[in-house]
Amino acid sequence: MHHVRHTGHNLKVEMYHSKSMYTTYGSGKETSEATSFKAELFESSAVSFIVSELVTNAAFKNRKSVAFGSSFVDTSNIAPSTPSIALDSSLVSKVEEILLGAYGIMSLEYLAQPGRSVALTHIIQVQNDDANAWYKAFIHAHSGEIFSVTDFVSEATFTVVPITKDAVTEGEETLVDSEDLTSSASGWIASNQTAGNNVIAYKSSQSATTSQSSADTFDYPYDTTLGPTGGSNIDAARTNAFYIINKGGAEDDRVLMSVQDSGGTNNANFATPPDDQSGTCKMYIWTLTTPNRDGSLQNDIIVHEFTHGITNRLTGGGTGRCVQTTEAGGMGKGWSDAMAEWTEHKDSSIPDYALAT
């Protein structure tokens, strides 16, 4: 599957996604190894190198394999595993200039190409906080050409109609012991800051978190007569953003939640790098009213953006880039909207209804 992307400084790349296959086995296929099964992240490898962006999935029931899917490719036509072009400072500078950012994490991986070929690539992550840009660039290790780019950032623009407990104007509540003791046996707060296992909520720098107002208490009512930066409203924003996002998950890649971010207005975005790297959510001030409003106190915006992180991370596994095409991106927007609606649903009944009768 191909699609063209325009990004950075006049860069045009043709994206390629290998064709996937999916097989079901009816009532199940006997598999001796399936005495127990735990979901894992599968990665394709060849010649001791990772083949980037290829994923597989398997389903088991009653110790039988019932389904298997994969986007793996034939590696018989694979490029040499030793780069003929080094990733030196001049090549890095070229990539930074084209993608208008500064480089970060680098690696060497294979990438599937049309015609059943597999290319060796230098991978560079390029980030520009001011432009809300974060890319994963694939540079051909035998030609030096940038021939594929993954954009980690999902953005959204909203015309917001408040729903039940959607916004601060509909009232705040004081919640006690919000954590699930199964997943957070020691509670959410160890440092007495808005910094937990799953998110750190801050403004401007990661050290600018909100401290407890008293022992294990974060009580900062939002004053709607003031702007987002007035009184204790910054603390209210960080506390609310922390509460919404800090639920469940493994360690070492907590979300970086930047409230009242200075990089824009009237918007929000979420950048989702691969598993084991922190995603970044940027919440902006909305300037369409006086006083201005804070997106971090609008829960549907927070949930919408966080769902981008979930779906970009989980669709295709922690390293896939399956939500990059226009159609897939549209589905991602729909998933985010649906999750935002669902979290505010209070009625336990779900009635049937008819459409287009």
Candidates 53, 96, 109, 305; catalytic one: 305
**Can 179 be counted among the known catalytic residues?**
no
Sign of CA pseudo-dihedral 309, 314, 319, 322: negative
37 contact partners, CB below 8 Å, separation of at least 6: 60
Task: Enumerate the known binding-site residues.
Answer: 155, 304, 308
| More confident: 271 or 118 | 271
Other Cβ atoms within 10 Å of 23 Cβ, number = 11
Residue pLDDT, tens place only, 230-250: 888 888 888 888 777 766 555
CB distance 119 to 78 below 8 Å: no
CATH number of 89-151: 3.10.450
81-139 confidence digits (pLDDT tens) = 788 888 888 888 888 888 888 877 788 888 877 766 788 888 888 888 777 788 888 88
Tell me whether domains 89-151 and 156-344 share a fold: no
Give yes or no for residue 196 having a pLDDT over 80: no
Query: What's the rounded Cα separation, in Å, for the pair 33 and 45?
Result: 21
- Evaluate whether 56 touches 28 at the Cβ level (below 8 Å): no
Q: Model-level pTM?
A: 0.56
| Predicted local confidence at residue 278, as pLDDT | 85
Q: Are strands 117-128 and 133-140 parallel, antiparallel or unpaired?
A: antiparallel
User: Is 124:146 a contact under the CB 8 Å cutoff?
Assistant: no
- Per residue in 160-186, pLDDT (tens digit) is 223 345 556 565 555 554 555 455 544
d(CA 112, CA 2): 12
So where are the chain's domains? Answer: 89-151, 156-344
| pLDDT above 70 coverage of the chain, percent | 65
pLDDT of residue 117: 74
What is the C-alpha separation between 296 and 284, in angstroms, rounded? 8
Residues paired with residue 202 on neighbouring β-strands, in sequence order: 258
Question: Residues marked as binding for Zn(2+)?
Answer: 155, 304, 308
Fold of 156-344: Elastase; domain 1 (3.10.170)
